[in-house]
Amino acid sequence: MSTFPTTLQHCQALDTVDALHPLRDLFDIPAGVIYLDGNSLGVMPKTAAARAAEVVTQEWGQGLIRSWNTAGWFSLPQRLGNRIAPLIGAGADEVVATDTTSINLFKVLSAALSIAAQDAPQRKLIVSERSNFPTDLYIAEGLCKERGYTLKLVEPEEIAAALTADVAVLMLTHVNYRTGAMHDMTAVTAAAHAAGALMVWDLAHSAGAVPVTLKASNADFSIGCGYKYLNGGPGAPAFVWVHPKHADRFWQPLSGWWGHAAPFAFTPDYQPAPGITRYLCGTQPIVSMSLLGCGLEGFEAADKLGGMAALRTKSLALTDLFIQLVEERCQGYGLGLATPRAHAQRGSQVCLTREHAVGGSGAFAIVQALIARGVIGDYRAGDGGIHKDILRFGFTPLYIGFEDVWNAVEHLRQVLETGEWQKPEFNQKHAVT
Amino acid sequence: MSTFPTTLQHCQALDTVDALHPLRDLFDIPAGVIYLDGNSLGVMPKTAAARAAEVVTQEWGQGLIRSWNTAGWFSLPQRLGNRIAPLIGAGADEVVATDTTSINLFKVLSAALSIAAQDAPQRKLIVSERSNFPTDLYIAEGLCKERGYTLKLVEPEEIAAALTADVAVLMLTHVNYRTGAMHDMTAVTAAAHAAGALMVWDLAHSAGAVPVTLKASNADFSIGCGYKYLNGGPGAPAFVWVHPKHADRFWQPLSGWWGHAAPFAFTPDYQPAPGITRYLCGTQPIVSMSLLGCGLEGFEAADKLGGMAALRTKSLALTDLFIQLVEERCQGYGLGLATPRAHAQRGSQVCLTREHAVGGSGAFAIVQALIARGVIGDYRAGDGGIHKDILRFGFTPLYIGFEDVWNAVEHLRQVLETGEWQKPEFNQKHAVT
């Protein structure tokens, strides 16, 4: 990487020749902000305001109850699912947008345990990563308690050895939220299957960020998030995919009327709809769900420019550049790299650690000082053990450019060089997401 | 009721003297529409469009991730819950707005069964009404299958006799969606408790429609809907209440991070938050949820005019008038009344049946013909047995007036007198909600 440009002018030139660069014009990015938190909440597509107005004033206000049919509200989960499918390597009619990531994980993990209980009742373990996103672990913990399973948490390098004969399900997040480390979906799925376990993938930090090959990798179940890289808006509904070979096999226990074979027959007994529709439950938040469609338009525009493959190439160039510039320009301040250097093991974010002789890592305060300068990343606390405090920076190739990377690193350098992060106002913790 | 006015002029005069009548100006009602379907989807408050624009363009677009704190997104479920609480007879910090009615029922029914399993493990029945809203029955059916319980469905008049020593939970919808019949919450709860069963109330057709006394009636668990009488918008988040004596006793199994005692500590093990917050699960759809706040403003405006008590008085006057006018002006067309005449047993809707010698009830086609005239009610199919086809008309006292009632009945009379409901276009069934 020694020939990579390292001046502002070089970065500007990279933007000029980047065929994807014009896609940023599809989004409203606040003036003065370099937004490196699209892995937590994506920015607003420019079409969102008009779409929200249309759904509220026309579809709700004027159409009222008729809009369930005339505006297609009732089929939104399936229609959005079919638009998400190509981003995650799923087929048509295999995905629905609905509910939240946590609730969808409950559904698929329930179904996976039901299959395991039937096919391999002696298997009583769910294996996951200790640094998996906590809500995944909480949902698994609850289901284990309900059904007499045990949740075994390991470090990433211990996963292979943990795939013993008593494992029912391996549940992993494809790209780790703390480190940006990415699993090899095909290899890990194959290892789980070779050990007789089912494979559940959380795509919260993958969908729209990296190419995903669920079906080609022969995964069993998957869920993901609508409001991160998919730019669906705050709390946008999540999505769920189930391999077609499993989809009709069990009900998931959240057996509400939207998953019924004939919801408007109003029969007292539950008859699950065929396929993925049975993973729906109750009436969906139509305004929020409609805005998810605006987020997906960005990817449909990118399709004409090479799609997810082109976005991935740019994403790696952005994260490579960020790593290089941090290492060149922020030396001597104790920063370390938590994200793998190998492209095959990296998602679309870069996470830094900080070693400091006194007063803790300073990671929280450095992030706050950057936010005050308009460079929005986020902070994730360590556990005092091997999981260190993290400065987290997401690079969304749809709207982040190479000059942004230069400027972000320049702000980081100044924050460290001036010591402004030590100001009291940057050291007062409050809830951050 | 013989002295009640029965002319258009009388109805107009009633609107003139109705102190609540000006509240309809808080809502956008489409021109030419008499909207009698607020029990399915409430109309749009006039503040909703501006609020949607603010949440989308300012809070999301400009505030981005910072809005979790600065715009108070993270506390929305609790803040909205505290605004719903007075409408349902709950105390402060006892209600959260979140997820869907179906999912919230899963949570509270799970918790109720956990309590029953500990306190009375020999009780293995859930009792409900056969004509309860089907999704409630589907959720209960799924949980019964999971936990080894049996769902026993009875007619309303059989409930008392069904409260045997093997009943763990009595689960009822307070106001029946098909008939508008309302249970006596205090008496039924007392009967359940006397029989040793826990009481779960679904308030889908009650919250914002009739006064509700959850805590005074000593109910155990309750859930309800945000998009019907609360006017929160299509698929607005639902709500959940748990009696404080139960709230800390069990986790509900949808143990996601929003219900954690310290969600941003990112600890791998689940520690439920105290109280009702543990009934939260995943990240909520903020745009849809924010609009629920607009719906609640109507009730806050009504508080200055007598609140739910005044709304209830008007609701009964509206439904009385509708029944009277239908019986006076639509004689001879086979219409019958499915809703109780006794005020104490009536919600805020009137449901009609129709007997006809040939060709079925015609109920579906009559409703379609009314909709074509701008009188929007809805149709619910019967089961061919004792549950007949239903023409359903909801009367939301916040925005329906007495002249609306007159005009609706006049349209119904004309549809029946002219036979226009027999036109082919009114007899083609499609999905209706």
Q: What is the pLDDT of residue B423?
A: 94
Q: Please name the residue of chain A whose CA is at the shortest distance from the CA of residue B429.
A: A264
Give this prediction's pTM.
0.96
Kindly state the tokens that stand for A304.
């004409």
Helix boundaries (H) for B120-184: 134-147, 159-162
Q: Pick from A36, A64, A229 the residue to mutate for testing the B interface (most B CBs within 10 Å).
A: A64
pLDDT at residue number B430: 58
CB B391 within 8 A of CB B363: yes
Residue B316 neighbours by CB under 8 Å, 6+ apart: B343, B346
Which pLDDT tens digit goes with each residue over B192-238?
999 999 999 999 999 999 999 999 999 999 999 999 999 999 999 99
Nearest CB neighbour to B253, from listed A100, A146, A234 = A146
- What single-letter amino acid sits at A325? L
Query: Is A228 among the catalytic positions?
Result: yes
Q: pLDDT-derived band of residue A433, with 50, 70 and 90 as boundaries?
A: very low
* B285 closest CB neighbour out of A106, A236, A430: A236
Region for residue B360 given its phi and psi (left: phi exceeds 0; alpha: psi -120 to 50; beta: otherwise): left
* pLDDT band at residue B100 using 50, 70 and 90 as cut-offs: very high
* A5 vs A178: which has the higher pLDDT: A178
| A340 within 8 A of A178, measured Cβ to Cβ | no
Residue A301: closest CA among A17, A20, A81 = A20
Q: A74 contacts in B (CB within 8 Å)? A: 431, 433
The verdict on whether B138 is a catalytic residue reads: no
Tokens for B142? 């799924």
Residues from chain B that touch A380, judged by Cβ atoms under 8 A, are 266
Please report how many Cα atoms fall inside a 13 Å half-sphere around the Cα of residue B55, on the Cβ side. Answer: 29
Q: What is the mean pLDDT of residues B278-292?
A: 98
Instruction: Return the beta strands (E) in B29-71 as ranges.
Output: 34-35, 44-45
Q: Which distant-in-sequence residues (6+ apart) come within 8 Å of B340 by Cβ? A: B179, B180, B181, B182, B346
Kindly list the residues from chain B whose CB atom is less than 8 angstroms away from the CB atom of residue A53. 49, 52-53
What pLDDT score was predicted for residue A357? 64
Report the pLDDT averaged over residues A85-106.
98
| Closest alpha carbon to B197 in B108, B113, B135, B129 | B113
Residue B408 has φ and ψ, to the nearest 5°, of -60, -45
CA B266, B268, B272, B278: dihedral to nearest 10 degrees? 60
If one counts every other C-beta atom within 10 angstroms of the C-beta of residue A319, the result is 24
Out of B227, B379, B393, B395, pick the active-site residue: B227
- B262: which residues sit within 8 A by CB, 6+ positions away? B271
* CB-based contact B76:B286 (threshold 8 Å): yes
Mean pLDDT value across residues A247-252: 88
Q: How far is CA A240 from the centre of its chain?
A: 13
**Cα nearest neighbour of B283 on chain A:** A235
Is A73 annotated in some ligand binding site?
no
**How many residues in chain B?**
433
Q: For residue B23, is pLDDT > 90?
A: yes
Is B53 within 8 Å of A53 when comparing Cβ atoms?
yes
Among residues A107, A278, A354, A392, which one is catalytic? A392
Residue A4 pLDDT class (50, 70, 90 cuts) = low
* pLDDT of B250 higher than 80: yes
Q: Are the Cβ atoms of A255 and B139 closer than 8 angstroms?
A: yes
- Total residue length of chain A: 433
Report the C-alpha gap between B37 and B41 in whole angstroms. 6
Q: What is the pLDDT of residues A309-329, one digit of tens each?
A: 999 999 999 999 999 999 999
In the structure, what pLDDT confidence band is assigned to residue A358 with cuts at 50, 70 and 90? low
> Could you tell me which residues come within 8 angstroms of residue A426 by beta carbon, excluding any fewer than 6 positions away?
A364, A365, A366, A368, A369, A372, A420
B392 is catalytic: yes
For B388, phi and psi rounded to 5 degrees?
-85, 165
| CA angle A392–A4–A397, rounded 5-degree value | 45
The reply, when asked if residue A257 is annotated as ligand binding, is yes
Of A25-39, A43-57, A357-371, B305-319, which range is least confident?
A: A357-371
C-alpha–C-alpha distance, residues A407 and A400, integer Å: 11
Across the interface, of B61, B102, B431, the residue whose CB is closest to A74 is B431
Distance of CA A215 to the CA centre of its chain: 18
- Residue A348 structure tokens: 């679309």
DSSP alpha helix (H) spans, A148-259: 159-162, 185-194, 244-247
Query: Is B27 assigned a catalytic role?
Result: no
User: What is the rounded distance in angstroms from the CA atom of residue A167 to the CA atom of residue A193?
Assistant: 10
- Say what the pLDDT of residue A303 is: 97
Tokens of A222: 């998957």
Active site residue A227: yes
Query: Cβ A103–B256 below 8 Å, yes or no?
Result: yes
Task: Tell me which DSSP letter residue A135 carries.
Answer: H
- Res B4 pLDDT > 80: no
Answer whether residue A384 shows pLDDT above 90: no
State mean pLDDT over A15-42: 98
Could you say which of B27, B35, B106, B133 is catalytic? B133
pLDDT at A356: 74
Asked if A134's CB is within 8 angstroms of B267's CB, the reply is yes
* The token pair that represents A344 in the structure block: 């095959």
B67 and A234 in contact by Cβ < 8 A? yes
Of A349-363, B308-322, B372-386, least confident by mean pLDDT is A349-363
| Single-letter code of the amino acid located at B397 | P
Among B28, B33, B56, most A C-beta atoms within 10 A, so best to mutate, is: B56
Query: Has residue A123 got a pLDDT over 60?
Result: yes
Pairing of strands A125-129, A375-376: unpaired
Q: Is A213 annotated as a binding residue?
A: no
Q: Which of B253, B266, B287 sits opposite A287 (nearest CB)?
A: B287
**pLDDT at residue B433 above 50?**
no
Distance CA B351, CA B388 (A): 11
Cβ proximity of B139 and A251 under 8 Å: no
- Kindly list the distances between the CA atom of residue A282 and the CA atoms of A98, A99, B135, in Å, as whole numbers in the listed order: 9, 8, 8
Instruction: State phi, psi for A125 to the nearest 5 degrees.
Output: -115, 145
pLDDT interval class at A428 (50, 70, 90): confident
B69 class by beta-carbon count within 10 Å (0-12 exposed, 13-18 middle, 19+ buried): middle
What does the block give as tokens for B352? 């009609």
b/e per residue B311-345 (b: at least 16 CB within 10 A): bbebbbbbbbbbbbbbeeebeebebeebbeeeeeb
What is the C-alpha separation between B430 and B389, in angstroms, rounded? Answer: 16
Chains A–B, number of C-beta pairs less than 8 Å apart: 299
Contacts of B383 in chain A (CB under 8 A): 267
- Which among B392, B393, B399, B404 is annotated as catalytic? B392
B357 confidence band (pLDDT: 50, 70, 90): low
For B413-429, b where at least 16 C-beta lie within 10 A, e where not — what string? bebbeeebbeeeebeee
pLDDT in the model for residue A310: 98
